[in-house]
Structure 1
Amino acid sequence: MDPKGTDQTEACSRHVCVNNPHLELLTDDVLYHFDLATGTHDLTAMFGDVKFVCVGGSAWRMKSFIEYIAAELNMEDPEGHYPNLCAGTDRYAMYKVGPVLSVSHGIGVSSISVMLNELIKLLHYAHCTDVKVIRIGTSGGIGLEPGTVVITKQAVDPTFRPQFEQLVLGKPVVRSTDLDQGLAEELLQCNEELSQFRAVMGITMCAMDFYEGQARLDGAFCSFTEKEKLEYLQKAHEAGVCNIEMESTVFAAMCKLSGLQAAVVCVTLLDRLQGDQLSSSHEVLQQHSKRAQTLVGCYIKKQLKAKSGHD
């Protein structure tokens, strides 16, 4: 395991940490994929009040989320105008309402890794404190009814190990994928208070691609039989894996290194033990997809209400 991970997290405390001495040599750090930079933007003025960052795959979904949370917090723009703060690039989209930042990350480990590097630096340069980061997404369930929301208690790789391995200078670096258990428990409690749909806490497996990496039979290539597929998914189920997606391990690892409280909340759109392709109607899928944002919205609203009560 990366020995710096735990020490770095403890040292960060309330602040968002970076661990790169080379950044001190930069007179202007360009966050290229956000079209933001320390030399051209007052990041503290723009983002210093951020307390909640919600990230998800598509730009459309994250705009939908910011519109939803604006209504929940009574911060709606009367003209319905929520500008994309990364409008100068087509890589990611970013929206902000009050203390809530909503950012798209694309699909897969590589895409979210690029976004997180720049997001973590942005939050650091903006001097943000006590930030919570929540990934909102969709996933394939294992042994769960479609529409079930999974709050991740541990992210694991395709061999069911709680780690993220990356090659750095050609050498493997292995990092922990621990998520904030207190935050996960608070989210589960919010779901009990909502009582609108089922949510469970469980292990999430992060795959490196959508098809063979997730034991699908319907890709352009397939090197295994249906029997082998079901044996693998059953083994995952026995290991406690509740759902499969494509970002959780690197998300957990990078947030932990930065001292960020982090959670993953994904709704299941199908049970992979029953098939590989989505069979529900578009309307049902849309309804299910909104469940994760409903739960996270409830949590944010509850946290801000509690904070205002203490002020």
Structure 2
Amino acid sequence: MKAFTATGRPDRMVEIGEVPEPEPRPDEVLVKVDAYSVNRGETFLLERPPAAWRPGKDVAGLVVQAAADGTGPAVGQRVVAHPPASGWAEYVAVPAGSVARLPEQVTTVQAAALPLAGLTALRLLRAAGGVTGRRVLLTGASGGVGHYFVELAAAAGALVTAVSRSAERGARLAELGATVVQRIEDAPGPFDLVLESTGGAGLPLALGRLVPRGELIWFGQASREPVTLDFFDLLNGPVSATVRHFSYADAGQPYADDLRTLVRLVAAGRLHPEIGLVEDWSRTAAVLTDLRARRIRGNAVLTLS
């Protein structure tokens, strides 16, 4: 079968070639891929790809082989899936616990944009606890996670301020219910909760906008710059603030449960995948370049048909 493999080269991070078709384990289904989404975090892994690793965590398609142990969807069902890797291919084997069926109302292009960004946003909202009436600051809001989180949190009654350097991207976040600023320094504050995804100099700035005993949840470092915190600076900032690290993978439950929730919300018109680009999968290498340069708003989806 055809699949994209990592090259380790910065100018063209992937190339298409022939690889063996996957042989599913007893608890895995085999999915014929119709569409997949690429994530900026995956481009970081592609800089120094692990041996024998192939990229691809967000896919949608058709089950062509059911799990031998009887779990998961049946042959012929359309699904969204979140494999650990290898999804940028014609076929991918996925644990049954990381697959959810798609209703007719949800296309495979929409579904492919859901897993990583949608799961992160949903689980961030859950980690934040009750957000109704709370003032929330979200940094790095113009990507897929930001769009999903703003829509979910605003619907739950949160007062969301989103930081987006792009006025165009900010306009869409405003439509979804956020107050939008271009810099953390412009965020009015104070905030009960900060969700921080940029790292570098942004995290201390965001931390300083918390209320006393407020919480900052750190879920990314898009700037690629390390964070430096000065204890004495905090003496003039929020009293007894909490900084908490968050990983969407640490949830203690299968992805399938939350994938079903995301699909249900999309089907009901309560969650809208923000798809900035749809291209044929032959364009994957070029799309990765655009994604790294932040030229794509929301998610980029590649299609195989």
Q: Verify same fold: TM over 0.5.
A: no
| TM superposition score normalised by structure 1 | 0.28
Structure with the largest fraction of helix: 1
| TM superposition score normalised by structure 2 | 0.28
Structure with the largest fraction of strand: 2
Q: Tell which has more relative contact order, 1 or 2 (C-alpha 8 A, sep 6+).
A: 1
